[in-house]
Structure 1
């Protein structure tokens, strides 16, 4: 339960900071000036699509928090045998960071009306995400061939479950990213394209955050941190 509470507090803090920047708590009837005074907003309010995506990401975050809580409880039993992490996971992490950076650059480019740069960044983000998925599959194969199949040990099962769930969310994001990339080559309103790219970037940054959390969990760093905290409190 402590893992879930800590995660929810972090999510609440990040969400509060983000929503404050999006002026969701503003009172437009008290504002002075034109809508143009708030670039990137609609009457000073955050688009509904961003609010919906924020709610969805909060639900996904809670799901992974529940997985993390189950992971900690299960690892306390005697039959738990931690598996060695393939070094390829660190390379995959770097690739996912590049994908997130590419989406960030796409947002910056479309805000400056640099459409060609935005297109290049979107394609780069998609290709690096595909490379990340391919790397994850290779890591799975390496573990299986090394004697760590899915059902051999509870630790193995959690590793495959967590990485598979994260990979499924990457695949879902690639579908949305593909549609957004198609919009970048189509004759769509610039505001619509900008919103689509911003939504993809939000989703990508969140998945990077989740993956880092998963990596910290399965590498054992989180367990070591909790052990140290328990020793300090006792």
Structure 2
């Protein structure tokens, strides 16, 4: 339960910061100006698509938080044998960081109208995401070659489940990223292209955060952190 609370507090903090950045706390009705100035106020700055994606990511975050809670409860039993952390997972983590950075560069390029940079950043983000998925599959094969099969131990099952679920979300994001990349080469409106790029970047940053949390969990560092928190609180 403590894991879920910590995760949800982090999600709420990030969501609150994002909403402030979007100007949701502004109060246009309190602004001074001539009568009729309110007619020039634009529509809400947060598009419906962003709100919908934020709700979806909150649900996904809660799902992974439940998995993490089950992971902590199951690891307390005596038959638990934690898997070794492969060096390849460190490389995969770096690749996913690069993918997220590329999507952020794409957002900046879209806002500045730099189409060539935007196209390059979108393609780079997609290629690095595919490289991450390929790296995860290679990690699975390495573990299987060492005898760490899915049903060999509960820790193995959780590893394949967590990494598999994360990989499926990456794969789903690639579909949206592919659609946005195609629009970058077509006659899509700049506003629509910018929105699509921002949505992809938002999704990618979230998946990077989830993967970092999973990596800390699978490496065993999260258990040490929770234990330290328990000692401090008691």
TM-score (norm 2): 0.94
CA contact (8 A) 1:109 1:118 kept: yes
| Alignment match, 1:143 | 143
| Alignment match, 2:164 | 164
CA distance in 2, matches of 1:136, 1:221: 20
CA distance in 2, matches of 1:18, 1:36: 25
| Alignment match, 1:52 | 52
Q: How many residues end up aligned between the 2 structures?
A: 230
- Structure 1 position 232 matched with structure 2 position 222: no
TM-score (norm 1): 0.94
Structure-to-structure mapping, 1:201-216, within 5 angstroms: 201-216=201-216
- TM-aligned CA distance change 1:232 to 1:25, over 3 Å: closer
Structure-to-structure mapping, 1:13-52, within 5 angstroms: 13-31=13-31, 42-52=42-52
Q: C-alpha deviations, 1:105-158, integer Å up to 9, x for none? A: 000011111000000000000000000000000000000000100000000000
CA contact (8 A) 1:35 1:43 kept: no
Q: C-alpha deviations, 1:5-49, integer Å up to 9, x for none? A: 111111111111111111224344445568999xxxx53521111
CA contact (8 A) 1:28 1:43 kept: no
Provide the secondary structure at the position in 2 that maps to 1:151.
Answer: coil
- TM-aligned CA distance change 1:139 to 1:36, over 3 Å: farther
| Alignment match, 2:180 | 180
Q: CA deviation at 1:233?
A: 3.7
Uncovered stretches (5+) of structure 1, i.e. residues with no partner? none
| Alignment match, 2:127 | 127
- Structure 1 position 69 matched with structure 2 position 69: yes
CA distance in 2, matches of 1:83, 1:124: 32
Provide the secondary structure at the position in 2 that maps to 1:23.
Answer: coil
